[in-house]
Amino acid sequence: MAKTVTVEEYVAASAGVQLAEVFGAIAGAAREIEWKIRLAGLSDVYGAFGAVNVQGEQQQKLDVFANDLLTQTLGALPQVAAIVSEEDEGPVVFDRKGGTDGDAKFVVIFDPLDGSSNIDVNVNVGTIFSVVRLHGDVVASVLKPGTEQVAAGYVLYGPAAVLVITTGSGVAAFTLDEDGKFLLTAEAMKMPEQGPYYSANEANAASWPAAYREYLLGLLRGELGGNAYSARYIGSLVADFHRTLLKGGVFLYPHTDKAPQGKLRLLYEANPLAMIAEQADGAAVNGATRILEVQAERIHQRTPLVIGSRREVEALQKAVQKAALKDAGEAK
Ligand code: P6P
């Protein structure tokens, strides 16, 4: 029987105890969130909380539960200076007076429960997080390109609860066991160079930039080679990404008429998943530009996102760059 390795042990060995404790806090919160989701139908935690969050979205009761729990467990660690959450307008800065402020090294940015509207129909949801170093001011520390992340990860709540992480030296996966521990079940994970799936909400296709429609048609015509593609769209980013990480292919959420800046958020959705994708030899762009090089201007900034196997993402990036050059030429 192979020795079991917990996520805390794994991170301690590869990135030190301080970061391991951050992952331990997230893992502990994830265990409680998983339990709450699994039994949601038996207790009054389905449905709307009755308030609207900073995004203007109806908060689900489980959104609030997950957000409060992650804030509390991370706030208990002296090395965590602050958190930034999809659910809150601004950072929650922890009072470290009395402790030595020098301990406060990290800011954790998270979407506590992405896709929560799917819970009521028993579809996967997820927690996504990004860890950056504190450099003086909290907001200045988070408004940096995604290349500054020191760690990233997500929890996918589904038939199994899986925690996928990177601290910058490869991607590893951990599965929640019956004792409430996340145990190592995969490491050095690599995304297939090309995949059999594309994943997009094609109801928006009419309002995508033309280059995206032409790109998708080209995939379906076999212009990129490889196998014929199948469509897979769960409508829960973490589930659609996790399948892409394991099986390959491409997830696209371009900007649309309804979401002219894109729908997904840069700091706590695109950046952490882009770090994982690149660590697994995949890629992530906002169209023309590598996601991890985008300079964040606002905490809740949205972005178009195309993420997945290198061949599909690079082909999209080239198509968008070519279309931009053509438009620029025509504008002259
Ligand atoms: P649409 C869920 O609400 C979410 O934020 C992501 O998890 C998911 O990828 C996306 O929105 C789905 O958006 O417009 O296709 O319903």
Q: Read off the pLDDT band of 182 (50, 70, 90).
A: very high
Mutate to test the pocket of ligand 1, among 117, 237, 273 (most ligand atoms within 8 A of CB): 237
Nearest protein Cα to ligand 1, atom 9: 237
Could you give the CA distance from residue 181 to residue 164 in angstroms, rounded to a whole number?
14
- My answer on whether 268 and 220 are in the same domain is yes
Distance (angstroms) between ligand 1 centre and the Cα of 3 equals 38
| Section 158-163 average pLDDT | 96
Residue 270 CB less than 6 A away from ligand 1 = no
- My answer on whether 50 and 170 are in the same domain is yes
- My answer on whether 242 and 175 are in the same domain is no
Give the end-to-end CA distance of the chain in Å, rounded to a whole number: 68
Q: For residue 221, what are its two tokens?
A: 């015509």
User: Which of the 8 DSSP states describes residue 180?
Assistant: S
Last residue of a domain, one of 186, 219, 237: 186
- 139 located within any domain: yes
Nearest protein Cα to ligand 1, atom 10: 235
Radius of gyration, alpha carbons of the chain: 20
Nearest protein Cα to ligand 1, atom 5: 115
Nearest protein Cα to ligand 1, atom 13: 235
- Of 326, 292, 254, 260, residue with least CA distance to 130: 292
Could you give the CA distance from residue 328 to residue 332 in angstroms, rounded to a whole number?
7
- The residues facing 154 across adjacent strands are 128, 164
Higher per-residue confidence, 47 vs 133: 133
Indicate the pTM of the whole model: 0.95
Give how many domains the chain has, as a whole number. 2
User: Each residue of 93-117: b (16+ CB within 10 Å) or e?
Assistant: bbebeeeeeeebbbbbbbbbbbbbb
Instruction: Give the orientation angle of helix 210-220 with respect to helix 310-331, to 10 degrees.
Output: 140
Full domain range(s) for residue 95: 7-186
Nearest protein Cα to ligand 1, atom 12: 235
Residue 201 CB less than 6 A away from ligand 1 = yes
- 2 located within any domain: no
Last residue of a domain, one of 164, 186, 208: 186
Could you give the CA distance from residue 62 to residue 316 in angstroms, rounded to a whole number?
36
Estimate to the nearest angstrom the gap between the alpha carbon of 103 and the chain centroid.
27
Q: pLDDT digits over 18-67, tens only?
A: 999 999 999 999 999 999 999 888 877 676 777 878 877 777 789 999 99
- 325 located within any domain: yes
| Section 247-276 average pLDDT | 97
Could you give the CA distance from residue 206 to residue 163 in angstroms, rounded to a whole number?
35
Residue 114 CB less than 6 A away from ligand 1 = yes
- My answer on whether 281 and 134 are in the same domain is no
What CATH number should be reported for the domain holding residue 288?
3.40.190.80
- My answer on whether 159 and 204 are in the same domain is no
- 192 located within any domain: no
- Of 64, 76, 143, 59, residue with least CA distance to 109: 143
Q: pLDDT digits over 277-293, tens only?
A: 999 999 999 999 999 99
